[in-house]
A and B are shown apart, each in its own frame.
Chain A
């Protein structure tokens, strides 16, 4: 599985020496050409689209221009949604870590003595990938609905006022995001803990370290590549997500995230320059955050 995507890979055997050969080009070119055509060129298209201006003659059409003010306009109009996206994504990443790390520790270390239980627990963590993301989110919506079991239970206990709703709230959106990304957080951490040599932990104990300081000074640093990988695999997609925050799912107009705004501008309002400018803003912020984060955690060899 590619959940080590953002972590450094550790080779088990001494790899073969790298040769220089024209074969390398033949192997690389088709794929890289494809990525150039369908990843880099679209980014360039976004840049061109983001500075277009409305066609003075045909309503709803745009013509090429250099209207960099478009960026100012969209930021003025949509800064609350942009801030909200990163806030929700950060909260969801934190909660997913609080649930995912102990779970990964349990599967990767506690369950080592029971390989069958370990295999079963791992299957349960991967299981959500095999059933539609949208249907899982709809399931939460229905469980949280005003007539649903959860609202009824909380109202009976008087934790929730009689007229309160859960769906459509910030809580529901962060809840949905957290739920959806727990496996993305758990699996990379599991991958790094699964390989952890328990003799290091024993050595900590032998050197009279308390279990607590052994955990913070031995286990946690060794799990760091997995934690980094997991937080990126959660934060990046969560900040661009627009399913959980959409009105038909767990959100409302008050919870709209930047993804909702991009979708609405591109597919509904057909205001392509606004959608393109916001997409590039989102990408720029993420790239800055990711590179700062990667620099600070000290693993620069990403792939």
Chain B
């Protein structure tokens, strides 16, 4: 990539990034729209939507449900997935290839199949659908993603550190909680954040298993037919800005650290 190509890739990539941002900016801008009932045409700037978010019926309940489901599913999936990841890297056991296949399949199955399968199961077992069944469903599809994320961290762990702990007469329990776990923590946190994001924005699997309970995405889907209130844009924009702020802080501090390390070596 020389000469012309060198500039072409800058222009092309900048256009791609702008393209990615268009609907995000649109959503944020329309959270300030002075709209009545539907939020399609721009009617002027207002802060009302931000100040009275819960004005639109049901939107805050849906948001609260999504947070609850996301937190519970994340805790369950992160715990189960981390245990599997440690076992995969550290232990020898039979049925290893069957285990990896069982972990891979949920990621290779379209959501609509996962959703319909669980719904068929709940129907046959006579289990009523609601927040509980949504949590069960979300935990299921998050586990594999947790395993993949944490596994990478476990396999990059230097075993010498744990050996040092054992040489210094640490019990297996102490070695795990004082050496292994803190070193795995960044991977576990990344996995938990990924789980929460997957759960919070899931629509398809949720729609098959929610019964009458409403999550934030299913609220938007139902509202789409008659017009989405600007308050939904407010909640989505608020979550977005918070997440972006956290990610920017993490990214820039990591980049700054890399630069410091590059200077010292």
Point out the residues of chain A lying under 8 angstroms from B237, CB to CB.
Answer: 131
B21 within 8 A of A: yes
The answer on a CB contact under 8 Å between B80 and A30 is yes
Please name the residue on chain B nearest to A290 by beta carbon. Answer: B108
Given contacts A39-B105, A45-B124, A46-B117, contact A282 B91 (CB under 8 A): no
The answer on a CB contact under 8 Å between A18 and B90 is yes
The answer on a CB contact under 8 Å between B24 and A127 is yes
A232 within 8 A of B: yes
A259 within 8 A of B: yes
Please name the residue on chain B nearest to A17 by beta carbon. Answer: B159
The answer on a CB contact under 8 Å between A183 and B140 is no
The number of chain A residues with a CB under 8 A from chain B is 106
Q: Which of A20, A134, A179 has the most C-beta atoms of chain B within 10 angstroms of its own C-beta?
A: A134
Given contacts A1-B194, A248-B224, A287-B108, contact A32 B102 (CB under 8 A): yes
Given contacts A4-B152, A102-B16, contact A124 B194 (CB under 8 A): no
A4 and B23 CA atoms in complex are apart in Å by: 26
Give the Cβ gap from A266 to chain B, nearest Cβ, in Å. 5
A72 and B231 CA atoms in complex are apart in Å by: 46
A164 within 8 A of B: no
B213 within 8 A of A: no
A280 and B148 CA atoms in complex are apart in Å by: 26
Given contacts A131-B24, A182-B20, contact A119 B255 (CB under 8 A): yes
Q: Is the interface of B mostly helix, strand, loop or mixed?
A: helix
Point out the residues of chain B lying under 8 angstroms from A158, CB to CB.
Answer: none
Q: Is the interface of A mostly helix, strand, loop or mixed?
A: helix
The answer on a CB contact under 8 Å between B86 and A126 is no
Among the listed B22, B80, B103, B117, which residue makes an inter-chain contact with A45, where contact means beta carbons less than 8 Å apart? B117
A42 and B151 CA atoms in complex are apart in Å by: 26
Stretch at the interface among A21-29, A74-82, A192-200, A220-228: A21-29
Among the listed A121, A139, A263, which residue makes an inter-chain contact with B112, where contact means beta carbons less than 8 Å apart? A263
A211 within 8 A of B: yes
Please name the residue on chain B nearest to A110 by beta carbon. Answer: B9
A15 and B89 CA atoms in complex are apart in Å by: 8
Given contacts A267-B207, A287-B108, contact A139 B27 (CB under 8 A): yes
Given contacts A18-B91, A110-B10, A286-B109, contact A11 B155 (CB under 8 A): yes
A171 within 8 A of B: no
The answer on a CB contact under 8 Å between A182 and B113 is no
Among the listed B26, B84, B224, B251, which residue makes an inter-chain contact with A28, where contact means beta carbons less than 8 Å apart? B84
The answer on a CB contact under 8 Å between B244 and A123 is yes
A31 and B191 CA atoms in complex are apart in Å by: 15
Residues of B within 8 A of A (CB): 1-2, 5, 9-10, 12-13, 16-17, 19-24, 26-27, 30, 40-41, 80-81, 83-84, 86-87, 89-93, 99-100, 102-114, 116-121, 123-124, 136-137, 139-140, 143-145, 147-149, 151-152, 155-159, 162, 190-191, 194, 197, 201, 203-204, 207-208, 216-217, 220-221, 224-225, 228, 232-233, 236-237, 239-240, 243-244, 247-248, 251-252, 254-255, 258-259
Residues of A within 8 A of B (CB): 1-2, 4-6, 9, 11-16, 18-21, 23-25, 27-28, 30-32, 34-36, 38-43, 45-46, 48-49, 99, 102-103, 105-107, 110, 115-116, 118-140, 142-143, 145, 147, 179, 182-183, 211, 215, 232, 236-237, 239-243, 248-249, 258-259, 262-263, 266-267, 272, 275-276, 279-280, 282-283, 286-287, 290, 302-303
Kindly list the 5 A-B residue pairs having the minimum CB-CB distance in the complex, ordered from nearest: A240-B110, A42-B117, A24-B91, A16-B159, A139-B23
